Amino acid sequence: MANFSLLSISSSLLMIFCGLWSFISYHKHLLNSLLSLEFMMLGIFWLLSLQMSNVGSEVYFGLFFLTLTVCEGALGLALLVLIVRSHGNDYFKSFNILEC
């Protein structure tokens, strides 16, 4: 049982670091950045649910975290649609700071 727990924790940390690596290295498009942020959030949720299962049957905090993650994803997709409609693409280099 200890090997499974260690494997689960290490795989969730691997998910977080892979999401962070892809966020840093593939920052050309906004959609790539949003997907890597969601991948990191899934890794954090998995680690959180593993740790909460060891403490007790506290599921409300995990559901609250998952709800916030879903709201963050919906807000990111709404911003992506708004940016694609206004600029025509989702390249970060095409955004101008001085533009309203």
Q: Which domains does the chain have, with CATH numbers?
A: 2-94 (1.10.287.3510)
Give one DSSP letter per residue of the chain, joined into a string. -HHHHHHHHHHHHHHHHHHHHHHHH--SBHHHHHHHHHHHHHHHHHHHHHHHHHH-S--HHHHHHHHHHHHHHHHHHHHHHHHHHHHSS-BGGG--TT--
pLDDT < 50 stretches in the chain: none
Residue 36's pLDDT is what?
92
Residue 14's pLDDT is what?
92
Global pTM reads 0.81
